[in-house]
């Protein structure tokens, strides 16, 4: 039996549907998304550009662009006040003022992609970390200062005292991102959202930041939503993966299920398109075409034009989510009992077998 506290669901998004009005027309960016985040878990949202992964979390944080409209959906967030009282609210229906005052920075914190522009260039690092605590909790300056030093050490910045007085341009990209993470953790949030935090960083720095996030998560027990387009990164940090395409989640499952038993042709494509260090193939399998532009909403399955395993029905009807196991579902007509038996590409099957054997070594 699962530990009740551990399996507490802290964020639950249902039927999220968002459009943007642009000069070229209406872009239907999010077309019905459901996902959950449980306490202490890392959920990854994987998708390419235009899939809508950033828009989803921005809507939950209340920082959606002004030309965006939330057509429908709920985002139920659960947190506990200091006195133990449990509070449940719908983030999408909360006013901007309440979001700023009670949620943003305090309960849900966000780490963005570009560390260059995430920090205020005219403010010292120490001040930026202390700011949130003073504003949300009214902590005294001395206490906030002490806590900031602790946070800087926790994120792996040596010479914390000296760094408190530095300005952002005096730090390298990796250190800046660590500072951003420190700021995010300053108010002890329940949920940390990372929107492609390492895409702009070098691979060695990326490795260290990922290790840091994982370490912090285990130590502090916070939940993390990790948004990325890089499946390699997902393998390291995530417990649960949602694969997004064209504004919908096309496959979701635990990390093992997605990596060792993917069922959606798009997931096959993503996994195959990454060369890993042991690939001996002379040709990388590539999904043909490009992600669709959501100005013209496709009828049927949005992935069907690029899908070599498409069925005739994919052009007419969108597939529902088919349940594979308790935790694993995929939205593809290939899972319908009437569909022909189609297995993943041979190269991918070979590679997965190889990966499974690797573990045994």
Number of residues that bind other proteins (CB under 8 A): 92
- Alpha carbon of 183 to those of 106, 195, 328, 351: distances in Å? 11, 15, 35, 40
- Binder of other proteins out of 15, 90, 159, 256 (CB under 8 A): 256
**Beta-strand runs (E) in 23-137:** 25-38, 42-46, 68-80, 86-90, 108-111
CB atoms within 10 A of CB 297: 15
Q: What is the distance, to the nearest Å, from the Cα of residue 327 to the centroid of all Cα atoms in its chain?
A: 18
If one asks whether residue 236 binds other proteins (CB under 8 A), the answer comes out as yes
Q: Is the Cβ of residue 128 or residue 307 nearer to other proteins in the bound state?
A: 307
If one asks whether residue 341 binds other proteins (CB under 8 A), the answer comes out as no
- Considering only residues 132 to 191 of the shown chain, the ones binding other proteins according to CB under 8 A are 173
Question: Taking CB under 8 A as the rule, which mask of x and - marks residues 45-74 in contact with other proteins?
Answer: ---xx---------------x-xx------
Q: Which stretch binds other proteins (CB under 8 A): 71-79, 96-104, 141-149, 303-311?
A: 303-311
Kindly state the smallest distance separating residue 236's Cβ from other proteins, in Å: 5
If one asks whether residue 327 binds other proteins (CB under 8 A), the answer comes out as yes
- Binder of other proteins out of 8, 17, 36, 131 (CB under 8 A): 36
If one asks whether residue 348 binds other proteins (CB under 8 A), the answer comes out as no
- Binder of other proteins out of 284, 343, 349, 350 (CB under 8 A): 284
DSSP string of 81-101, one letter each residue: -TTS-EEEEEGGGS-HHHIII
Q: Which residue matches tokens 């069907």? A: 304
For 69, the token pair is: 């409209």
- Alpha carbon of 146 to those of 127, 161, 182, 220: distances in Å? 12, 10, 13, 18
- Binder of other proteins out of 2, 97, 283, 346 (CB under 8 A): 283
Q: Is the Cβ of residue 126 or residue 319 nearer to other proteins in the bound state?
A: 319
Q: Is the Cβ of residue 1 or residue 360 nearer to other proteins in the bound state?
A: 360
| 168 sits in which H/E element | none
Q: Which stretch binds other proteins (CB under 8 A): 88-96, 122-130, 136-144, 284-292?
A: 284-292
d(CA 55, CA 61): 10
For 245, the token pair is: 């395409």
Q: What is the distance, to the nearest Å, from the Cα of residue 149 to the centroid of all Cα atoms in its chain?
A: 28
Q: Is the Cβ of residue 221 or residue 320 nearer to other proteins in the bound state?
A: 320
If one asks whether residue 210 binds other proteins (CB under 8 A), the answer comes out as yes
- Alpha carbon of 221 to those of 40, 41, 42: distances in Å? 5, 8, 10
Q: Which residue matches tokens 């899939």? A: 51
For 339, the token pair is: 């569909």
- Considering only residues 71 to 130 of the shown chain, the ones binding other proteins according to CB under 8 A are none
- Binder of other proteins out of 78, 89, 342, 348 (CB under 8 A): 342
d(CA 210, CA 216): 10
d(CA 198, CA 195): 9
If one asks whether residue 219 binds other proteins (CB under 8 A), the answer comes out as no
- Binder of other proteins out of 128, 148, 223, 329 (CB under 8 A): 329
- Considering only residues 15 to 34 of the shown chain, the ones binding other proteins according to CB under 8 A are 20, 22-24, 27, 29, 34
If one asks whether residue 320 binds other proteins (CB under 8 A), the answer comes out as yes
Kindly state the smallest distance separating residue 354's Cβ from other proteins, in Å: 9
CB atoms within 10 A of CB 358: 9
């Amino acid at each position: 039996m699962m530990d009740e506290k551990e399996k507490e669901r802290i964020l639950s998004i249902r039927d999220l549907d968002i459009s943007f009005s642009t000069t070229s027309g209406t872009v239907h960016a999010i077309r019905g998304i459901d996902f959950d985040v449980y306490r202490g878990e890392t959920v990854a949202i994987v998708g390419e550009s235009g899939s809508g992964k950033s828009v989803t979390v921005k809507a939950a944080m209340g920082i959606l662009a002004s030309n965006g409209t939330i057509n429908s959906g709920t985002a139920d967030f659960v947190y506990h006040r200091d006195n133990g009282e449990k509070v449940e609210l719908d983030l999408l229906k909360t006013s901007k003022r309440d979001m700023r005052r009670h949620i943003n920075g305090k309960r849900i914190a966000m780490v963005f992609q570009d560390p260059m522009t995430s920090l205020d260039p005219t403010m010292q690092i120490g001040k930026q970390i202390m700011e949130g605590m003073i504003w949300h909790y009214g902590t005294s300056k001395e206490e906030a200062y002490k806590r900031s030093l602790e946070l800087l050490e926790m994120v792996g910045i040596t010479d914390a005292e000296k760094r408190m007085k530095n300005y952002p341009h005096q730090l390298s990209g990796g250190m800046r991102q660590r500072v951003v993470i420190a700021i995010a953790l300053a108010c002890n949030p329940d949920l940390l959202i990372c929107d492609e935090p390492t895409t702009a960083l070098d691979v060695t720095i990326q490795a260290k930041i990922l290790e840091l996030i994982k370490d912090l998560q285990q130590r502090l027990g916070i939940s993390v939503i990790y948004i990325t387009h890089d499946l390699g990164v997902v393998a390291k940090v995530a417990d649960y993966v949602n694969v997004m395409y064209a504004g919908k989640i096309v496959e979701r499952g635990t990390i093992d299920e997605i990596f060792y038993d993917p069922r959606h042709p798009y997931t096959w494509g993503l996994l195959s398109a990454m060369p890993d260090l042991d690939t001996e193939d002379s040709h990388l399998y590539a999904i043909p075409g490009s992600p669709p532009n959501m100005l013209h909403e496709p009828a049927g399955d949005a992935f069907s034009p690029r899908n070599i395993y498409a069925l005739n029905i994919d052009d007419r009807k969108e597939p529902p989510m088919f349940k594979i196991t308790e935790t694993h579902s995929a939205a593809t007509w290939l899972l319908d009992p009437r569909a022909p038996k189609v297995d993943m590409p041979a190269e991918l099957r070979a590679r997965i077998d190889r990966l499974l054997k690797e573990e045994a070594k």
